[in-house]
A = this chain, B = another copy of it.
Amino acid sequence: MKKAATGSASTQRAPTVCDIAAGAGVSRATVSLVLRESPLVHADTRARVQAELKKQNYVYNRGAANLRRRTSNAIALVINDLANPFFAEFATGVDEALGERGYVTLLGNTGESPQRQQAVLASLMEHTPAGLILSPAEHSDAAQLRSVLGPHLPVLVFNRKIEGGNWDFLALDNQHGAELATAHLIERGHRRIAFYGGHADSSSCRQRRAGFEKAMRAAGLHARKEWMIETKPSRIDSAASTPALFQGKHHPTAAVCYNDAVALGLMLGLVARSLRPGRDFALTGFDDIPEAALASPPLTTIATQPRERGRQAAELLLAQLGAAHTRFRQTTASAQLQVRASTPPPTCT
């Protein structure tokens, strides 16, 4: 009510616990207790302090609090390619789940550059985050990472395993996913099936190939070397590499693609050869990005639910914060087959 007091506080600088304490006629300590909702303070006092907080439009200063508390409510989230819808969805899920639990997201994007990743992490570490969710850039080095992160920071690695890094890891079930896709094609009657796209030296590609081979073996089929084709995991390169599928005497009638981007590229490449995807040739993707459902024909794919993975990553990390960390653990998120029109039976047997 007293204009002078309110006025001077709001125009000068942000009010502090001191100002509130003075206004409410209590000590700083009491104000601090109210802020942290301690049951120690008397209901009447609490009410008086809270009224004063509102009156002075107080905003809590986490930085100051963290200094003494030695723990913060910020979680660093470092993404290898934020512009990729898959990771944007993942980031959305992380931020959503963290926000619900009262945490704040410190964002960094590395654009697949390990150098930039080091720089970004170093910068974020200065803000003493309580933990880190890292979707690592390709060819990340465990030793380098450990040197920026220090030995104590709770870390959850997503998507790509880091060789020699003992951090908790949330994996997509690449192998099982590819197995499902392959089995689906086999069930539809395909016998000559290729595995198309991806870098064979990336762990996710190796795992998907393994799933493919396992399903083929289980059906008594042979996974031919010349039908294991590498491409960059991009639409463009995938489209350009299409001819590699049709070089020998026999051609495959279907392909399990490394991911949706590759599958969509392959569709373009097929069209360019006057083959109609979903008619003359069957193919599956991986990820279930939004476009997959809208391609023509709609793409049969493996759904990984990136937003859900983001939420899961956040929860795994927060769980790690609570408990004393024992051993590092790996979680594998299951993937589901999403059948659409791109996987008809073969036309000629």
- Measured CB to CB, the residues of A under 8 A from B are 10-11, 14, 57, 59-64, 66-67, 72, 74, 77, 82-85, 88-89, 91-92, 95-96, 99, 102, 104-109, 111, 116, 119-120, 122-128, 147, 150-151, 235, 264, 268, 271, 290-291, 294, 296, 307
Q: What is the chain B residue whose CB lies nearest that of A307?
A: B83
What is the minimal beta-carbon distance from A231 to any residue of chain B, in angstroms?
16
What is the minimal beta-carbon distance from A187 to any residue of chain B, in angstroms?
28
For A11, A123, A271, the residue with the greatest tally of chain B CB atoms inside 10 Å of its CB is A123
Asked whether, in the complex, the Cβ of A235 is within 8 Å of the Cβ of B294, the reply is yes
Q: How far is the CA of A89 from the CA of B151 in the complex (A)?
A: 33
Q: How far is the CA of A228 from the CA of B150 in the complex (A)?
A: 59
Asked whether, in the complex, the Cβ of A62 is within 8 Å of the Cβ of B127, the reply is yes
Of B14, B84, B119, which contacts A150 at CB under 8 A? B14
Of B60, B89, B106, B235, which contacts A126 at CB under 8 A? B60
Q: How far is the CA of A30 from the CA of B157 in the complex (A)?
A: 38
Interface pairs (17), CB distance under 8 Å = A59-B126, A62-B126, A63-B63, A63-B127, A63-B128, A67-B67, A74-B106, A74-B127, A82-B95, A91-B107, A95-B107, A95-B109, A96-B111, A99-B108, A104-B124, A104-B126, A291-B294
Q: How far is the CA of A61 from the CA of B63 in the complex (A)?
A: 10
What is the minimal beta-carbon distance from A265 to any residue of chain B, in angstroms?
8
User: Given the complex, which residues of B lie within 8 Å of A111, measured CB to CB?
Assistant: 96
What is the minimal beta-carbon distance from A172 to any residue of chain B, in angstroms?
18
Q: How far is the CA of A122 from the CA of B54 in the complex (A)?
A: 13
Of B109, B119, B290, which contacts A92 at CB under 8 A? B109
Q: How far is the CA of A67 from the CA of B67 in the complex (A)?
A: 9
Asked whether, in the complex, the Cβ of A77 is within 8 Å of the Cβ of B264, the reply is no
Asked whether, in the complex, the Cβ of B108 is within 8 Å of the Cβ of A95, the reply is yes
User: Given the complex, which residues of B lie within 8 Å of A10, measured CB to CB?
Assistant: 151
For A66, A109, A125, A268, the residue with the greatest tally of chain B CB atoms inside 10 Å of its CB is A109
User: Given the complex, which residues of B lie within 8 Å of A235, measured CB to CB?
Assistant: 290, 294
Asked whether, in the complex, the Cβ of B99 is within 8 Å of the Cβ of A89, the reply is no
Asked whether, in the complex, the Cβ of B91 is within 8 Å of the Cβ of A82, the reply is yes
